[in-house]
Structure 1
Amino acid sequence: MTTTPTIPRRTVLAVLAGTGVAALTGCGPVRRAGSAAERLPDLLLPDPLLVELGAALGVLRGADRQTIPHAVATADGLAVYATEPEGADTAFWRIDTATGRASARVTLPGRWVPQTVSAGGTTVALTPEGVSVDAAGRPGGREVTPVLIADVAGKRQRLELRGNFVPEAFTGDGTGLFVLEWLPARAPDRYRVRVVDLATGAPGPLSTRAKAPVPPGAEEEMRGDGRQAVLAPDRSTLYTLYTHQPGHRHTRDLVSGRPGNAHAFVHTLNLTERWAYCVDLPHPFGETPARGHAMAITPDGRRLVVADVASGRVAEISTEELTVRRTAALPEGTGAAYAVADGDRLFVAAGTTVRAVELAGLRPVAAWAVRDAVTGLVLSPDDARLYVGRLGAVSWHHPVTGAELGRVAVPGLVGLHGLAARTRRPPGPLYRSQLSAHEWAGLRIASPAGCEVRPRAGD
């Protein structure tokens, strides 16, 4: 029900470290990459990117690098909210990712770190510095969770939630906050998704897909691996992929009395209407390591595609019907999986292989190898470049041929978060304008032999 016990949704959405790159705090001076990039061409990054650098977020613009240790990005990548200690209190400000300009800093009483931003990008939920998760994705035991709601003007509201909570997302109208409630509070081993009414500060259950209140005792409790969360393009729905939950019972099973036995499913959370529904994935999804699973949504928001590289399967979910429409085979792979989609293709990566899957036929059409293990995939706004996160670098490739178009060093890189200042063109035929008719026809019928895609890493 969230971006994962292993990958919390708030990090669905991380310090530049290493030789030659300045570790910048907040909006300090931005420096050019130095000796760490000596063996790479002095290229400018074509599109601004948000990257994960250990526990920090990095903003890459051209040749500039900026590191923000305690930060959370807006859904559109246009801004990052950051905090840093200021005596016993906390400085809080907003950074424009396109320019690097920062708002005036405001002081929040006490120590806080940002957890999630509203869909409109104006409001932030923060928790105390000590409210974090461990390597297994579990928070420490506690009986009360303070939560601060703030914007660029400063503190708006403070909540004292009785129990062990982690903020996940705001409701569409901004009057509620979705949270993970960990149970039992002092020694958590499972969690459920609830919604806090910001007017009263009281947490309560979600609704069913039929918009009826979930009956007492029928709220789902998660024990498995939350692998990845994806926000719909219109920001109305949050999809979270869960694996390794044999015997799990959905709310509909608890209400009907059915036993339930889902090894993997996509938890669908409607941020506007406050209901949740789980789409079960067929065997063998969820029976292989969680990190070998990855999920992506098409730009029109109508198709959600899930890949399991370890078992070599891919499934397409209709977001309108909330059903699995079809499944198909993929070449098997190993390692952490990553995925991204445009209107025509799904790109999947695992290990050192990147693979393209044609969505019309749900079949692999191309694959290519890169020299280092992949740590993330991002498409450029015009779909002309596929960015590939690698160990200490980001490269960009032609999305049809896989040819490397450029590469820059990014010491400390552990993942790609997404585009900064993102804009996307309307869905439509991809790549056609970049190739001659002869090249296009040849590539469309070419054998995919030797092409492989990297899965999305995250564990």
Structure 2
Amino acid sequence: MATTAISRRTVLSVLAGAGAATLVGCDPTPTPRGAPATDLPDALLVEVDDGLGVLRGADRQTVAHSIATADGMAIYATAPQGADTAFWRIDTTTGHTSTRVVLPGRWVPQAVSAAGTTVALTPTAANVTTGRPAGRDVTPVLIADLRGVRHRLELRGNFVPETFTDDLAGLFVLEWLPPTAPDRYRVRVVDLGTRVPGPLSTRTKTPVPPGAEEEMRGDGRQAVLRPDRTTLYTLYTHQPDHQHTRDLISGRPGNVHAFVHTLHLTERWAYCVDLPHPFGEAPASGHAMAITPGGDRLLVTDVTSGTVAEINTEDLTVRRTAALAGGAGNGHAAADDGRLFVGAGRIVRTAHLADLGRATEWPVREPVAGLVLSPGGERLYVGQVGAVSWHDTATGAELGRVAVPGLVALHRLAGRV
């Protein structure tokens, strides 16, 4: 799979379907007699209704109040245990569960470190790409791993955890302003030693001056982690009268409709790559990103206009744009080293990166709800209404299909055997 997308941190619900089982030790439900058995070639992570599940072969597996690691190899889960919370890790390849740790109070997982070892939990679910949180003056945050509680924070203000610094000494957060009636936000980093939030650095690794921190009012659409786990890219749209830190420092005017917020997890700097018109003009749901396996190219698409922008992740510039056919519906994307796949409505388009302006297309039965490439790139999994199908990436021919009742989105590959 070429794209590691970190979309909403979700609370998991029971996934219906033949051969359903849970990752927490319940007995599997047998497939009804006479029902066809279709096995998925690869394990997948999906969202169903208001939850997340694992599809593996003929099994349908879920666990409540969970978050998946960026590589899909593990899930961290919580469950009420009296007045406290049980916390544990599930290996998505084997279904093996770790020993449960008891956390004081009630918590749900909110963000997981890029390496998949540490989790930030909050009392209520809220995340970077699901809109604004409720107003509050104080935000409790618990940092835990399989040894137990590592830090407990009481942050003065309205904060939403996003991810961790590479050394786990800092927690990146969105600070919503004003705290009790939030309408804008800024990205900050909490030093876990001092428990104090502060500004990030600029790309030149100098501290952001007071008053020059960016405040955003737009929609966080999707987050993608670079394969080497050093950088998190988040797509934002609809930023009326927005000014980047570099504009605030220089005094230049700014009015950006869409950009990719680049967050370096090791060096703690942030930089925004502006996207050209017409990005950000159409609904946020029509935008999507995919990164190549080597991490050198980030592809952003606006399916409404059909525009694709290729970002060079080394110098953080838009290298080129291209026009595909426009469409309607939610946008989804996946990429390997040579191809970009874009899905919207009942159409999947394929373009070779060597010639982004030319694309082939093939129809699917229902509106696309996620695209995931198989490890070798020979199959493309397509989430649809109540099902996941998989297709030959060269011809678009449907190779198989499984029913997934209540499917909301297809996210990524799960663990591998």
What TM bracket, shorter-length normalisation? over 0.9
Question: Letter of the aligned partner of 1:165 in structure 2?
Answer: F
Q: Aligned pair in 2 of structure 1 residues 131, 144: CA closer, same or farther (>3 Å)?
A: farther
CA deviation profile, 1:121-157 (whole Å, cap 9, x unmatched): 11111111x3536996111111111111111122122
- The Cα shift of 1:259 comes to 1.1
- 2:156 counterpart of 1:158: no
Q: Which of these residues, 348, 372, 376, is aligned with residue 382 of structure 1?
A: 376
CA deviation profile, 1:60-101 (whole Å, cap 9, x unmatched): 111111112211111221110000111111111100100111
Q: Which residue of 2 aligns with 1:257?
A: 251
2: CA distance between counterparts of 1:242 and 1:90? Answer: 34
CA deviation profile, 1:220-270 (whole Å, cap 9, x unmatched): 111011111111000100001111113210001111111101111111110
- Which consecutive aligned stretches of 4+ in structure 1 deviate over 4 angstroms post-superposition? 7-10, 17-23, 32-35, 133-136
Q: Which residue of 2 aligns with 1:96?
A: 91
> Where does structure 2 lack aligned partners over 5 or more consecutive residues?
none
* Count of residue correspondences: 413
Q: Which of these residues, 69, 74, 82, is aligned with residue 79 of structure 1?
A: 74
Indicate the percent of aligned positions where both proteins have the same amino acid.
69
CA deviation profile, 1:304-346 (whole Å, cap 9, x unmatched): 1111111121111100110011111110100000001000000
Q: Which residue of 2 aligns with 1:45?
A: 40
- 2:390 counterpart of 1:396: yes
In the TM superposition, what are the counterparts of 1:368-447 in structure 2 within 5 Å? 368-421=362-415
Q: Aligned pair in 2 of structure 1 residues 20, 62: CA closer, same or farther (>3 Å)?
A: closer
2: CA distance between counterparts of 1:135 and 1:307? Answer: 17
SS in 2 for 1:52: strand
Question: Letter of the aligned partner of 1:29 in structure 2?
Answer: D
2: CA distance between counterparts of 1:206 and 1:27? Answer: 43
- 2:114 counterpart of 1:119: yes
Q: CA RMSD in A?
A: 2.1
- The Cα shift of 1:12 comes to 9.8
In the TM superposition, what are the counterparts of 1:317-336 in structure 2 within 5 Å? 317-336=311-330
Q: Which residue of 1 aligns with 2:172?
A: 178
In the TM superposition, what are the counterparts of 1:132-281 in structure 2 within 5 Å? 132=126, 137-281=131-275
1: CA distance between counterparts of 2:8 and 2:129? Answer: 16
- 2:338 counterpart of 1:344: yes
Q: Is the 8 A contact 2:131 2:219 kept in 1?
A: no
Q: Is the 8 A contact 1:126 1:148 kept in 2?
A: yes
SS in 2 for 1:274: coil
Q: Is the 8 A contact 2:128 2:160 kept in 1?
A: no
Q: Is the 8 A contact 2:189 2:198 kept in 1?
A: yes
CA deviation profile, 1:167-212 (whole Å, cap 9, x unmatched): 1000011111000111111111111110000111110000000000
- The Cα shift of 1:417 comes to 1.7
Question: Letter of the aligned partner of 1:221 in structure 2?
Answer: E
Q: Is the 8 A contact 1:51 1:60 kept in 2?
A: yes
Q: Aligned pair in 2 of structure 1 residues 178, 234: CA closer, same or farther (>3 Å)?
A: same
Question: Letter of the aligned partner of 1:86 in structure 2?
Answer: Q
Q: Which residue of 2 aligns with 1:448?
A: none
Q: Aligned pair in 2 of structure 1 residues 100, 56: CA closer, same or farther (>3 Å)?
A: same
Question: Letter of the aligned partner of 2:9 in structure 1?
Answer: T
In the TM superposition, what are the counterparts of 1:296-315 in structure 2 within 5 Å? 296-315=290-309
1: CA distance between counterparts of 2:11 and 2:45? Answer: 10
1: CA distance between counterparts of 2:6 and 2:394? Answer: 32
- The Cα shift of 1:117 comes to 1.2
Q: Aligned pair in 2 of structure 1 residues 412, 27: CA closer, same or farther (>3 Å)?
A: farther
> Where does structure 1 lack aligned partners over 5 or more consecutive residues?
1-6, 424-459
Q: Is the 8 A contact 1:127 1:146 kept in 2?
A: yes
- The Cα shift of 1:373 comes to 0.9
SS in 1 for 2:382: strand
2: CA distance between counterparts of 1:349 and 1:16? Answer: 27
Q: Which residue of 2 aligns with 1:446?
A: none
Q: Is the 8 A contact 2:69 2:75 kept in 1?
A: yes
Q: Is the 8 A contact 1:13 1:417 kept in 2?
A: no
Question: Letter of the aligned partner of 1:48 in structure 2?
Answer: A
Q: Is the 8 A contact 1:25 1:69 kept in 2?
A: no
Q: Is the 8 A contact 1:312 1:331 kept in 2?
A: yes
CA deviation profile, 1:390-416 (whole Å, cap 9, x unmatched): 111111100110011111111121111
Q: Is the 8 A contact 1:182 1:192 kept in 2?
A: yes
2: CA distance between counterparts of 1:48 and 1:311? Answer: 33
Scaled by the length of structure 2, what TM-score is found?
0.94
Scaled by the length of structure 1, what TM-score is found?
0.86
SS in 2 for 1:253: helix
Question: Letter of the aligned partner of 1:178 in structure 2?
Answer: F
2: CA distance between counterparts of 1:72 and 1:403? Answer: 33
- The Cα shift of 1:28 comes to 2.9
Q: Is the 8 A contact 1:355 1:366 kept in 2?
A: yes
Q: Is the 8 A contact 1:10 1:168 kept in 2?
A: no
